[in-house]
């Protein structure tokens, strides 16, 4: 008599490092876990009675690498500092000569799915151009949309802390 090919897990935790997302952002650390995971082999079915907890950390270097690859508004040589709940972003814009641009940004969650960047202040070689840069940023917002992933997940909150950005949310196994 064949045995059932299934596994029931009372509690689980998964820890992933250096996760490269489809849009090119590297997430330094991802942790998720929950209770009551049920796995069947054939056909593959993964289920859980309730969503598990999700936590993801993106460090300053990963944010700068992502911005340098995207080069929004023709900016380059990004440097990012996360401190006091805000992102401090420095970059260079070339208009005949190199101009240093500095911005202070905040992050927010929209619709439980999207991570949006808002500009608090901008300075380019002494000239404030907040509206112009925010209009450019609006073209690339959201910078992260969890709906693009193969799991049912939601974002609950975002926190900018020293060294990077921490996202909190919930995740459920993919529907079968």
DSSP characters over 80-141: EEEETTEEEEEEEEEESEEEEEEEEEEEEEETTTEEEEEEEEEEETTB--HHHHHHHHHHH-
Confidence band, pLDDT 50/70/90 cuts, at residue 77: very high
Percent of the chain residues past pLDDT 90, beyond the cut? 43
- Give the separation between CA 148 and CA 84, rounded to whole angstroms: 30
Higher pLDDT, 132 or 167: 167
Sign of the C-alpha dihedral computed for residues 113, 151, 28 and 170 taken in this order? positive
Alpha-carbon span 113 to 107, nearest angstrom: 13
pLDDT tens, 79-131?
Answer: 999 999 999 999 887 777 777 888 899 999 999 999 988 888 887 766 556 56
Predicted pLDDT of residue 10: 94
Whole-number pLDDT of residue 101: 81
The mean per-residue pLDDT over the stretch 21-44 comes to 89
Q: Whole-number mean pLDDT of the chain?
A: 85
> CB-based contacts of 175: which residues, under 8 Å, 6+ apart?
152
Q: What is the mean pLDDT of residues 24-51?
A: 89
pLDDT on residue 158 = 96
Contact 70, 24 (CB under 8 A): yes
The predicted pLDDT at position 1 comes to: 46
Query: How high is the pLDDT of residue 111?
Result: 94
Looking at residue 118, its pLDDT comes to 87
Q: What is the mean pLDDT of residues 156-171?
A: 95
Give the H or E element holding residue 171.
strand 164-172
Which pLDDT score, from 0 to 100, does residue 86 have? 95
């Amino acid at each position: 008599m064949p045995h059932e090919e299934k596994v029931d897990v009372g509690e689980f935790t998964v820890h992933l490092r250096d996760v490269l997302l489809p849009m090119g952002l590297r997430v330094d650390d991802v942790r998720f876990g929950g209770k009551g995971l049920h796995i069947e082999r054939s056909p593959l079915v993964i289920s859980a009675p309730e969503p598990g907890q999700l936590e993801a950390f993106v460090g300053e270097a990963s944010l700068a690498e992502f911005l340098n690859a995207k080069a929004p508004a023709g900016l380059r040589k990004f440097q990012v500092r996360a401190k006091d709940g805000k992102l401090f972003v420095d970059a260079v814009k070339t208009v005949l000569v190199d101009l240093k641009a500095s911005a202070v940004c905040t992050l927010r969650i929209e619709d439980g799915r999207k991570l949006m960047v808002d500009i608090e202040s901008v300075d380019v070689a002494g000239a404030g151009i907040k509206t112009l840069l925010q209009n450019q940023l609006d073209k690339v917002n959201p910078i992260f949309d969890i709906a693009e992933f193969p799991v049912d997940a939601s974002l609950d909150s975002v926190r900018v802390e020293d060294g990077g950005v921490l996202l909190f949310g919930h995740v459920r196994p993919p529907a079968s």
